Structure 1
Amino acid sequence: MTIDKFIRRLTSLGLAIALFVLIAAYSIIGTVLPQGLQREFYIENYPSIGSAITTLQFDQVYSSWIFRILLFLFIVNLSGCTLKILPGQLKKIKGGYFPEPKSDAENLHMDNVDLEKFRGILKKKRYSIIQDENGFKATRHRIGNLGSSVTHLGIIIIILGSFIGNIYAQEGFFNMLPGDIKSFPEYGFSLKLDDFRLEYRENGSVDQYYSDLTILKPGVDNTSDTIWVNNPLKVDKVNFYQTSYGWASNLEISDITGENMQAGLLRNGESFFYQPGHLTVYLYGYFPNMTITSQGEPITMTEQELNPHYAVILYEFGNHVASEVLGPGQEFQYKEYKLAFMESELYTGITYRKDFGYNFVMIGSLLMTLGLILSFYYYPKHILVEEGSIKTITRQNTWGFNFQVRQMIEKSAEKEE
């Protein structure tokens, strides 16, 4: 393959469409699939495809190398497309350029039209007039020829900002229980979770989840805000997103007399090691509204605590010794120890991100908006006036432009005595 052929393929419309579809597909995955969580979360919640999710980096779509390569190729493709069309557009905004009308262009000429009056109306409308031996040519909004290139430039800057932010962004994930405080000393503030709650639909499924947060800054009055999915919190250029939630369960281990020996807090899929008895307590899952499937597997019907139970697996010296399903406060005795889960609390999962591509995105958005305005509102308009002929030339909205010109012609028509 020659270099010229490679460049043509690299800057082709077909490749641009393919890249756009792939980027959109990855973005959908990143929106639908919770991002930035531990590998165990995907293995547990997506047992058939959990390994594939982490291998293909679908758990961190926007920072994956696949997504970055797609963005880079799209930038190169769009830049190449823009450079190919830009010389022709620059030529069209020069005063000497005037396109030829289409062979089937409608002739708007009227027998009683006053061409001098028509010319005056065009000048008032800020048309540039060029006289020639056959009549005159009128042009307006030549700058609109650059609309697509300006739009492309805006898109390139937006994607470039996303690419730079993607590489250099500072991001992370953390869980919080109500009352917890998460410090960000590098940014000079802390977050306190005042409350976390779920909102349910009529069928009991989760509709939305909310985190009530207080921003703590030394020497500044505390401020509070609430975040939910698609409603992040921004503190000093750091964005906080509501991304997940779960249950944390309180485990108590006591001796045969009931004296509390040790306590711990477990999330689903976590283990607690009690060294004196060489016991490992594995919380297979907390099920707020438990039912048993036909295969004997416990599942939860909803996240509402209507029939809460704990599925627990016990190991001694690494060997499986017992499996139990317990209700809240229900004790399970193994040798001289008693185990019980007393209650569970909702915790929130929050992702934070400081994106250095913000200014790029803002500038790119402004340029893209300008390009769209040039393309759809200030598109080039040409009028060719010759003996017995008035024809319009425009690349879009031909019917509307013809209607405007016809009105001007009618105003300039000679009045019969």
Structure 2
Amino acid sequence: MLKKIVRFLTSLKFGIVLFIIIALYSVIGTVLPQGMAEEIYIQHYPKIGNIIVTLDFNNVYSSIIFRVIMVFFIINLAGCTFNILPGQLLRMKESFFPSIPKDNENLWNDETDIDKFKESLKKNRFNISDKEESSYASKHRFGYIGSSVTHLGIIVIILGGFIGNLFAMEGSFDLMPNETKTFEEEGFSIVLDDFYLEFREDDSTDQYYSEFTIFEDDTKVKEEKIWVNNPLLYKGINFYQSNFGWANKIIIRDKDDVLAEEQIKNGESYLYEADHLYVHLYGFYPDFTMRETGEPTTRSQKLNNPYYAIMLYEHDQFLDSYIIEPGQRINYNDITIEFDEPTLYTGIVYRKDFGYYFILLGSLILILGLIISFHFYPKYVFVSSDKILPITKQNSWGYN
């Protein structure tokens, strides 16, 4: 019974089935947005939302199902490799020479000098094994193990992906200029010196840049500018430019004093507890205009015509909405509310992937295996006094 199970798990048919399932999962992971809240899938895909969440299609590559499939794929690939490896090693021995097909083309003719031909084989790095009345020439015997080396590379890459998913350190944070993010366990902090946008001629955003300084124990150790697709690497942690936005200062006053002052971002709310008042920043529009539908929008990210869209709630009850300029005040009972000092912030995603080196090693092994398989394929030539029979599938002129 156990032998049947092992034979099935290491069979080619099972491997093909697993490969198809992995391909389908990859399609799902590409087509379906990943990593969002479960409620979003249920809301946007009402008919299949629950299925998506139940089967972890919202986190395809880190789901238990996908990991189990990959474990079976590793078992299958390793089993297939162990099944074919003994035969490959046997063919690598000098004593092995493949049988000569009966219909093989004989390249010998009356003008052929066998001794000179054998010398040409030696010059082309063929090993010559002389028998009583014939000779066997061979080259690139190690090419037999190309497929096994390729399989090993794939296995190491998959294991690297597992290690990365299980042990990776990752997260995200937002910073405004002169703010600091500290990584205590790694012993350094990162300061955003500046953040700015680069625009095209039509005022659309072309690129955004973050300039960082890294400190260790208050000592500056590195300065670097990053942008999309050009991350910062420090102590094995990659920092990627992910997004950007606007932070704005909300100021609540009475007749005499400033009662509250805080930075909030688009979509955030501030609770003024004294009046149970929620001030919701619906949006900041640096180059304000209105759509035909009456919705506020921005033409660009340049501060050409800045406006805020504000909504007020009291005890979760909607009160009113406003479109105001920076510094313009909203009167509510005995207080005023204003927004000012729009400041760009950068969104950074960081990741320390412990599987990176395994994936790199696996890729190198995979490339080596492919080179061995397709460039160093085994070549054999049988030579006698009246016969020259090349034996190789790739090239009938096996001694070239």
- AA aligned opposite 2:269: S
2:22 aligned partner: 19
1:188–1:217 CA contact under 8 A, matched in 2: yes
Does the 8 A contact of 2:156 with 2:361 survive in 1? Answer: yes
Larger deviation, residues 304-313 vs 338-347: 304-313
Asked if the contact 1:155–1:364 (Cα under 8 Å) also holds between the matched residues in 2, the reply is yes
Distance 1:91 1:9, change over 3 A: closer
Q: Which amino acid aligns with 2:126?
A: Y
Determine if contact 2:15/2:73 at 8 Å carries over to the other structure: no
Measured after TM superposition, the shift of residue 373 of structure 1 is 2.5
* Local SS of the residue matching 2:138: strand
How far 1:101 sits from its partner (Å)? 5.4
Match 2:341 to one of 340, 343, 354:
343
* Residues 8-48 of structure 1: per-residue CA shift (max 9 Å, x gap): 3674235325424634763x569xx6x87x859x96xxx84
Letter in 2 for 1:382: Y
Residue 192 (structure 1) aligned with residue 191 (structure 2): yes
Aligned partners of 2:171, 2:362: CA distance in 1, in Å?
A: 26
Offset from partner CA, 1:168-205 (integer Å, 9 cap, x none): 12222111111111111101111001111222334433
Mapping of residues 13-412 of structure 1, within 5 Å: 13-20=16-23, 22-23=25-26, 26=29, 28=30, 39=37, 48=44, 55=53, 63-65=62-64, 68-100=67-99, 106-132=105-131, 135-218=134-217, 220-255=219-254, 257=255, 259-386=257-384, 388-396=386-394, 398=395, 401=397, 405=400
- 8 Å Cα contact 1:229/1:241 also seen in 2: yes
Normalised to the residue count of structure 2, the TM-score between the two structures is: 0.85
Partner SS for 1:12 = helix
**Matches of 1:155 and 1:86, distance apart in 2:** 16
8 Å Cα contact 1:196/1:346 also seen in 2: yes
CA contact (8 A) 1:75 1:156 kept: yes
Q: 1:92-115 CA deviation, whole Å, 9 max, x = no partner?
A: 212233334567755433431111
Q: In structure 1, list runs of 5 or more residues that go unmatched.
A: 406-417
Tell me the TM-score normalized by structure 1.
Answer: 0.82
In the alignment, the residues of structure 2 paired with residue 394 and residue 307 of structure 1 have an alpha-carbon distance, to the nearest angstrom, of: 75
Q: Would you say how many aligned residue pairs link Structure 1 and Structure 2?
A: 394
Describe the SS at the equivalent of 1:83: helix
Give how far 1:226 is off: 1.5
- 8 Å contact kept, 1:11–1:78: no
1:8 equivalent among 4, 7, 11: 11
Q: Which runs of 5+ in 2 are unaligned?
A: none
2:25 counterpart letter in structure 1: L
Distance 1:6 1:243, change over 3 A: same
Q: Residue 414 of structure 1 corresponds to which residue in structure 2?
A: none
Residue 150 of structure 1: how far off its partner (Å): 0.7
Counterpart CA distance in 2 for 1:273 and 1:66 is: 43
Decide whether the 8 Å contact of 2:10 with 2:80 is kept in 1. Answer: no
Moved more, 337-346 or 56-65: 56-65
Comparing 264-273 with 322-331, greater Cα deviation is found at 322-331
Specify the alignment match of 1:415 in structure 2. Answer: none
Aligned counterparts of 1:300 and 1:80: Cα–Cα separation in 2: 59
